[in-house]
Structure 1
Amino acid sequence: MKKQVLLLLLIGFGIQLQAQVTLRPGIRGGANFSQITQSDSKIKTDFYLGVYGALKLSRVYTMQPEITYSRQGGNDVRIRFYDYTNNELKFHKEDISASYLSLAMMNKFFLTSKFNIHVGPTLDLQLQENRYINSLGVDLAFMTGIGYTFTKNITGELRVKKGIINAYDTDYSGDYNYTIGSYNTNFLFQLGLAYTFDLNK
């Protein structure tokens, strides 16, 4: 009798779990506002675009793996170079840009049916750059943010992302007003929208 009761409880629990767990794919995109820390860089405005799978495990928690193409960097970074023709040290300002394929595992916590906070790690693989990119070719970062669900399918997102690996190989520094530190990391804000597809229609 006890075995039958236990079996019924397990079946009931499995049915309940299956009813709660859902997987919905989606796309997300928007604007990046990025800088390079320990530098005099100005904000670089660019974009990101990606896909995700929202695995809803409970009413308040969703695990969301993401793959995102992200363009970032910093504008007007003071660069030092040596002019061998005139045998003197010179400076000029240059925009530094890089593109990454970002692999993220976001954890979303729903405070209400409309409002959520999310946090998670990312592994960023460098795809293209124009100057002083990290020779490792990767960046590790942490991302956190908030989301607001406008409709069943559309969500607005605001995120902050901070790299933890030195982003640009530098063997130079500027004068005391324009120094690029030896530990310069990617830092950015993301503002955009996400669209989640409803596969149950």
Structure 2
Amino acid sequence: MKRIVFAFLFFFGLTFVNAQVTFKPGLRAGLNLSKITQSDASTRSDFYIAGFGELKLTKYYTLQPEISYSKQGGNDVLVQNFNNQTGNYDVSKEDISVDYISFAIVNKFTFNNKFNIHIGPTIDFQAGQNQFTQSDVDLAFLLGLGISVTNNLSIEARVKKGIIDIYETDYFSDNSYNVGDYNTNFLFQLGVSYTFDLK
């Protein structure tokens, strides 16, 4: 067993040493399709834009830190607002828009110089919202797939799932609307990325 582990580490180390480490800055942008989990809310369409640094460490592995601006939320969300005139809470369905500044550490694995898989954690900070949310910070994990069109241009699709309860819905009750008590961000992204050659 020790020999197998040693051989694996030796092979990985040899691959790393022989690889030409490169760095390229880049931009990502595209369509956001976001939703609030455990609710009957409908999907919200918006956009994202991001900057990143592509640090290619081996032929197959790239470390890619990212910072992005992402517009998320959900439509037709059951919300409750206090009515000062009646002294009661009014329940209605409204569109929720939440803007995030997101920091991600993406691990990118490349196959055949064409396809790549993305996986990594993110931490998101609210930059604005049109409804009350119970947390200004979200932690999430992403999983994605990229296809290289040229050496610089790629098409990407990602799924991102938050793990923090963002919306307070414990007090909602409506027989026609199903809602749970653990409401997190769910996001699907489809877009393009472009890297710039440094000379």
TM-score scaled to structure 2, two decimals?
A: 0.86
Quote how far apart the aligned CAs of 1:181 are. 2.4
Quote how far apart the aligned CAs of 1:180 are. 3.2
CA distance in 1, matches of 2:86, 2:168: 26
Q: Say whether the 8 Å CA contact 1:78–1:174 is kept in structure 2.
A: no
Quote how far apart the aligned CAs of 1:89 are. 6.0
- 1:173 equivalenced with 2:172 (yes/no): yes
- 1:22 equivalenced with 2:26 (yes/no): no
Percentage identity across paired residues of the two chains: 53
Quote how far apart the aligned CAs of 1:157 are. 0.4
CA distance in 1, matches of 2:88, 2:176: 19
CA-to-aligned-CA distance 1:173-195 (integer Å, 9 cap, x gap)? 13133243221000010000000
CA distance in 2, matches of 1:117, 1:19: 19
Q: Say whether the 8 Å CA contact 1:68–1:101 is kept in structure 2.
A: yes
2:56 counterpart residue number: 56
Quote how far apart the aligned CAs of 1:80 are. 3.5
CA-to-aligned-CA distance 1:141-191 (integer Å, 9 cap, x gap)? 000010000001100000000000011234521313324322100001000
2:159 counterpart residue number: 160
1:69 counterpart residue number: 69
Quote how far apart the aligned CAs of 1:130 are. 1.3
CA distance in 1, matches of 2:134, 2:83: 25
1:46 counterpart residue number: 46
**Root mean square deviation of aligned Cα:** 2.1
CA-to-aligned-CA distance 1:44-85 (integer Å, 9 cap, x gap)? 000000100000000000000000000000001122446564
Quote how far apart the aligned CAs of 1:93 are. 1.3
- Give matches, 1:139-158, under 5 Å: 139-158=138-157
- 1:104 equivalenced with 2:132 (yes/no): no
Query: Helix, strand or coil: the match of 1:157?
Result: strand
CA-to-aligned-CA distance 1:89-142 (integer Å, 9 cap, x gap)? 64321001100000000000012211011100000011101112124x110000
List gaps (5 residues or longer) in structure 1.
1-12
2:119 counterpart residue number: 119
CA distance in 2, matches of 1:139, 1:89: 27
Aligned AA (1:70): S
Please say which of residues 120-129 and 89-98 is displaced more in the overlay: 89-98
Q: How many residues align?
A: 186
1:5 counterpart residue number: none
Query: Helix, strand or coil: the match of 2:72?
Result: strand
